[in-house]
Amino acid sequence: MISFLMLVIGLVLLVKGADIFVDGSSNIAKVFGIPSLIIGLTIVAFGTSAPEAAVSITAALKGSNEISIGNVVGSNICNSLLILGVCGLFKSLKAKKEVRKRDFPYYLLSALVLFIIVSEYFFTHQTIGYITRTNGLILLCFLGIYLVSLVSDVKRNKENNEKEEKQKFKIKDVFCILIGIAGIVIGGQFVVNGATEIAKIIGIGENVIALTIVAIGTSLPELVTSAIATKKGEIDIAIGNVIGSNIFNILFILGITSVISPLSLNFTTYTDIIFMFASSILVFLMLKKNNRIGNKKAICMLAMYVVYTAYILCR
pLDDT in the model for residue 276: 94
In this predicted structure, what is the pLDDT of residue 142?
A: 94
Whether residue 163 lies inside any domain: the answer is no
- Domain membership of residue 135 (yes or no) is yes
Residues linked to residue 186 through DSSP beta bridges, in sequence order: none
Quote the CA–CA distance of 315 and 310 in Å, as a whole number: 9
Domain annotation covers residue 161: no
CATH of the domain at 265: 1.20.1420.30
Q: What is the pLDDT of residue 222?
A: 72
Contact status, residue 241 vs residue 226, Cβ threshold 8 Å: yes
What is the span of the domain harbouring residue 40? 2-156+171-314
* Distance from the first to the final alpha carbon of the chain: 26
Q: How far apart are CA 57 and CA 65, in angstroms?
A: 10
Q: Which residues of 228-263 are buried (b: 16+ CB within 10 A; e: fewer)?
A: ebbeeebbbbbbbbbbbbbbbbbbbbbbbbbbebbb
Residue 278 confidence (pLDDT): 93
For residue 242, tell me if it sits in a domain: yes
Q: Do 75 and 249 contact (CB within 8 A), yes or no? A: yes
pLDDT of residue 258: 92
Q: Where does residue 208 fall: left (phi above 0), alpha (psi -120 to 50 degrees), or beta otherwise?
A: alpha
Query: Using CA atoms, how far apart are residues 234 and 104, in angstroms rounded to an integer?
Result: 18
In a domain, 218, yes or no: yes
Nearest to 4 by CA among 217, 180, 182: 217
| pTM (two decimals) | 0.79
Cα separations (Å) of 76 from 16, 26, 107, 184, 247?
20, 22, 10, 19, 9
- Kindly give the parts of the chain with pLDDT less than 70: 32-45, 47-48, 154-167, 221, 234, 236-237
Residue 164 lies in a domain: no
| Nearest one of 126, 116, 60, 136 to 273, comparing CA atoms | 116
* Number of domains making up the chain: 1
Residue 165 inside a domain? The answer is no
The answer to whether position 44 is within a domain reads yes
